[in-house]
């Protein structure tokens, strides 16, 4: 794995453009991965993220049981695996093996970091009050890992029905944000 620790107050910049994520979960020997595009930032520092994980997905069981997950950020090179993981369930076989997803242990949660994703955010579930109504979990990012060699990550942005927009060039403008 080439990722190095990344400052938590800067995590918002990784998520603000709304990339498709690969959510990994683990509990008592079971492990799962699913693409997730319904997420949104709720806070800077600590970084808070809300996400919808449907009850029809086996990942929701592991997320509820463990109270933890990792949000991995894939780039266009992983498009085939992203869609593949979204078209099957963990009960149909080990997705990590089937889609050749190499992984490494996280520092603070049981769910693994996906090596081929350029960034991985270890998260704790901090609020489940909206799960019953909206299937919405609030997560706090407790550790973040980013590959410093990836300067212009070409992330995937779901446009619906198997269509994705791929992030393009990065441009700079004057900013007062510190």
Ligand X SMILES: Cc1cc2nc3c(=O)[nH]c(=O)nc-3n(C[C@H](O)[C@H](O)[C@H](O)COP(=O)(O)O)c2cc1C
List interacting residues with ligand X (CB under 6 A): 20, 32, 34-38, 52-54, 57-59, 83, 86, 88-90, 158
Least distance in angstroms from the C-beta of 70 to ligand X: 14
Q: Which pair of tokens denotes residue 78?
A: 């992983």
Cβ-contact 127, 140 below 8 angstroms: no
- Cβ nearer to ligand X, comparing 8 with 52: 52
- State the first-to-last Cα distance of the chain, in angstroms, to the nearest integer: 29
* 138 closest CA partner among 54, 42, 26: 42
Neighbours of 176 (CB within 10 A): 4
Least distance in angstroms from the C-beta of 98 to ligand X: 11
CA distance 42 to 53: 16
Q: Which pair of tokens denotes residue 170?
A: 């990065």
Least distance in angstroms from the C-beta of 144 to ligand X: 20
Q: Which pair of tokens denotes residue 53?
A: 């994980």
Least distance in angstroms from the C-beta of 6 to ligand X: 23
- Cβ nearer to ligand X, comparing 89 with 154: 89
- Cβ nearer to ligand X, comparing 59 with 66: 59
Least distance in angstroms from the C-beta of 63 to ligand X: 9
- Cβ nearer to ligand X, comparing 6 with 116: 116
Query: For ligand X, which residue has the nearest CB?
Result: 86
- Cβ nearer to ligand X, comparing 1 with 84: 84
């Amino acid at each position: 794995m080439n990722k190095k620790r990344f400052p938590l107050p800067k995590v918002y910049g990784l998520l603000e453009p709304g990339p498709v994520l690969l959510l990994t979960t683990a509990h008592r020997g079971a492990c799962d991965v699913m693409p997730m595009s319904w997420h949104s930032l709720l806070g800077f520092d600590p970084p808070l993220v809300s996400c919808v994980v449907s009850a029809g997905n086996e990942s929701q069981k592991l997320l509820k049981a463990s109270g933890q997950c990792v949000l991995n950020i894939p780039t266009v090179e992983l498009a085939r695996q992203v869609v593949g993981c979204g078209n099957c369930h963990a009960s149909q076989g080990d997705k990590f093996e089937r889609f050749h997803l190499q992984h490494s242990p996280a520092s603070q949660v049981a769910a693994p970091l996906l090596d081929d994703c350029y960034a991985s955010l270890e998260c704790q579930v901090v609020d489940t009050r909206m799960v019953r109504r909206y299937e919405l979990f609030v997560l706090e990012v407790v550790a973040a890992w980013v590959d410093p060699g990836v300067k212009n990550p070409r992330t995937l942005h779901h446009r619906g029905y198997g269509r994705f927009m791929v992030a393009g060039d990065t441009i700079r403008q004057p900013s007062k944000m510190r």
